[in-house]
Structure 1
Amino acid sequence: MKKTMIATLLASAALAAPAFAECEVTLRSSDTHPDGYPTVEGVKFMAERAKELSNGRICIEVFPSSQLGEEKDTIEQTQFGVIDMVRASFGSFNDIVPEAQLLSLPYLFRSEEHLHNVMDGPIGDELAKAFEAKDLIAVAYYDGGSRSFYNSQKPITKVEDLKGMKFRVMQSDVFVDMMSALGANATPMPYGEVYSSIQTGVIDGAENNWPSYDSSGHFEVAKYYTLDQHLMVPELVAISKIKWDALSPEDQQVLRQAAEESEPVQRKLWAEQEKASEEKVVASGAEVVREIDKTPFIEAMAPVYEKYVTKPEYQDLVKRIQETQ
């Protein structure tokens, strides 16, 4: 009887054990977006493939909804090895990796296809080396769509409409300078504070893509969305170099393969989410300005390019990005 009871208890304990208890290597991955968001699901797919390819030895536990902190904080924690992995916008790395700033230059990319061709080629490999120098191993480049302006005050149809308005931007110099060049006032703040700040009038609006505009609920307090697509900033999945160096070459290869296979999955989910989010916010009553002359907006960016594309190697990189087909 006692042996039977012990066996039953052991079996119950095994069933109740955490999903990652059997893993030899467990990586904690941070994301600011909610569960179900394309970037979160992309890393989840990476986790599934890593577990399959390693026969259950490597596990990735994804923490969405800023459970481990906002992007700036989690990037720093990943650099120091406190967090193992992070998914963050390239824009959040602008003040850490100088080359990352170049990808945040307004109107640099002509289309999402152009962006993918750049990131999946030799330029993407060069950027990975720049991140490694900052203790981050770039393993995947995800789609972040195009960012556009939204606000609570009025439709934005021309550059002059932005004058004096207060917009939240990511905590990055290039975004602050972009807004200044357009005559607006930039207010850097964490993503989680944007909704209440628009609602209370601390800021007039922000700028982001369709899925973020939707999932954050920002369309509820800022119903004017101008589809100017000023930024196409890729998303990065990076692993702490401290953690990476502790892995065997075989495990590193598993993670690289799993990450690479997750890219087309995330991009497909992104395209689907983008369409669904657009339909949702339009149905809710958001007013979308689609037809604008982008030329004055692009011309206003001249001082931004002059400030950040200074070194010959930066000028060469921007030129090669623009020439990529």
Structure 2
Amino acid sequence: MGVKTKILLIYTGGTIGMIKDYESGALKAFNFNNLMKRIPELTQLACTIDSISFDKPIDSSNMNPSHWVAITNIIEEHYTHYDGFVVLHGSDTMSYTAAALSYMLENLGKPVVLTGSQLPIGDLRTDAKENLITSIQIAALREENTAVIQEVCLYFEYKLYRGNRTTKVNAEHFEAFASLNYPELAESGVHLKINKEYLKKVKKEKQFKAHKLLDDNVVILKLFPGLNQNVLNSVLNIPNLKGLVLETYGAGNAPTDEWLLNSLKKAIDSGLYIVNVTQCSGGSVLLGQYETSEELQHLQIINGKDITTEAAVTKLMYLLGTGVSPKLFKTLFETPLRGEMQEK
């Protein structure tokens, strides 16, 4: 028998790591050192599992860039000692974390699988066990001594998705996530079916590199009928604002009011990066397809194509943090860096 695959579990917080105190009914954080006791099925996996917990596990609603840096630090520090990483995370902001980590972990040659659950690990009807067991199994997959998955992904309710393509779509169904613009990477049924043609390929000669500088001077603004000049200008004039994700209608359309276009033009001319993404759950921005997006195209607004809002806002933080020159910024944003958007 070969050497066992080594997996590191990183517990950040969230429902998956909670157990119910049956006397009080309250949820409390689970001690991951007792993981094998709680889920004896894990002993059937041909891998060794170690775990690290945040000193203070957090609800994912409190997740922020400093926590992404903490996760990145843990992965960087243990990168050579483990074959795969499973990040346990609350589901509410999991798509943001998955997108951020995909940018921060450059030339990733190993799997980083984010998972969580809608019900705590000790609940009778919990989804935590299946999500955790299969995530570990996926992280341990190897072929010819190489990891099958070499990217940041998200596993939830029998499906593995590219992390930076996901959005949380339901607060109470077990099927909490969707990847509307990119096919799933794997499906777990009686067999674990990997869709190899959709997996990210990493150039072997490229060195793994962790990025830890993010700039959070960014904002998301959703267009709506009735958005007025005062509201728009107060957002555009936020002190130190560097990037704006503008959620437009349909295929990237916006009102053609002169005041709106003038305000956006003035902001872009003064150095603000504005990214056009669709507020629809799926689909793509097609600038110039309609008259209502032609004007935005003339403004040299950044075309977000089929990127999710979560992947757009974290990409802004990442590119601003790496100090990309204004000349290159638009081109670089419109280029898929980690498979987060379509090529053309």
Task: Give the TM-score normalised by the residue count of structure 2.
Answer: 0.23
Compare the two structures and name the one with the higher helix fraction: 1
Higher RCO, 1 vs 2 (CA within 8 Å, ≥6 residues apart) = 1
Task: Give the TM-score normalised by the residue count of structure 1.
Answer: 0.24
